[in-house]
Amino acid sequence: MKNLSYKNINLHFSTYGEGSAIVLLHGFLENIEMWNEIYPPLAKNHQVICIDLLGHGKTGNLGYIHSMEDQAKMVKFVLDHLKLSEYVLIGHSMGGYVSLALAELFPKNIKGICLMNSTAQPDDKEKKITRDRTIKAVKKYPETFVRLAIPNLFSEENRTKFIPEIKLITKEALKTSRQGIIAALEGMKIREDRTFILQTTDFPILMIISKKDPALEYQPLIDQTNNTPVFIHEFPDGHMSHFENKEDLIIVLKKFCDHTCED
């Protein structure tokens, strides 16, 4: 585990292994602990970098809003510190939004992207209204919000199957400060439409799509990849593929990273 000073806040990350760089970016209410069972197989052949995003884990808050561009610039700061010029990005949910922002800002550094239970589309009007309602609730009852939010990321049938995992994720999520939660919600609400990256990219993109994802509708995820070179891998469960489909996910990610880094 390592720490840097970034714009007068603490920035927390970890590195494992050697070789071509793989960057793991967690989702909303998560931190680098989510990758604990995912990074070891990847680190056998690669250098794996896990980063706590702004307002999450042990990385501090920069302001009231953490835009995806703010997050991307922070990630780039870490990777520049490590003297890395090329990397594969694997982003879960919000981490996928950050990966796409990074690809728009610094396209020459990207070897490939995996959007894991994520999307290139922005929030629609209805989703933005929901974000605003959520922000109001978080300001009053942050702990209640977290305890309700985490189980609802799993498919309905998995909410009883993965009770120990849900308790663990909730415990980690509760470490996220109220301001960290709000700043992320505000940042996701205003994120740009980056479907053009799927259409114009010259590096490989893999989308991990779950058929029963409560957070992302299945058909729009499929539709945004029409007439693009994006690879799709589908799972049958919910938003938390790193728990619900862990073994298969590791195989898919390892194959994608190995092939992408060979090119």
Which of 2, 183, 173, 189 is closest to 77 using CA atoms? 2
Give the residue numbers spanning the domain of 8: 2-262
Q: Tell which phi-psi region holds residue 109, choosing left (phi > 0), alpha (psi between -120 and 50) or beta.
A: alpha
**Residue-level pLDDT, tens digit, the chain, 263 residues:** 899 999 999 999 999 999 999 999 999 999 999 999 999 999 999 999 999 999 999 999 999 999 999 999 999 999 999 999 999 999 999 999 999 999 999 999 999 999 999 999 999 999 999 999 999 999 999 999 999 999 999 999 999 999 999 999 999 999 999 999 999 999 999 999 999 999 998 999 999 999 999 999 999 999 999 999 999 999 999 999 999 999 999 999 999 999 999 86
Phi, psi for residue 88 in degrees, rounded to 5: -95, 135
Question: At 31, which CATH number?
Answer: 3.40.50.1820
Distance separating alpha carbons of residues 127 and 125, to the nearest angstrom: 6
Q: Tell me if residue 150 falls in helix, strand or coil.
A: coil
Q: What is the pLDDT at residue 263?
A: 63
Overall pTM surpassing 0.85 (yes/no): yes
Task: Compute the CA torsion angle 182, 184, 190, 191 (nearest 10 deg).
Answer: -170
Number of domains in the chain: 1
Residue 32 CB burial class (10 angstroms; 0-12, 13-18, ≥19): buried
Q: What is the pLDDT at residue 1?
A: 81
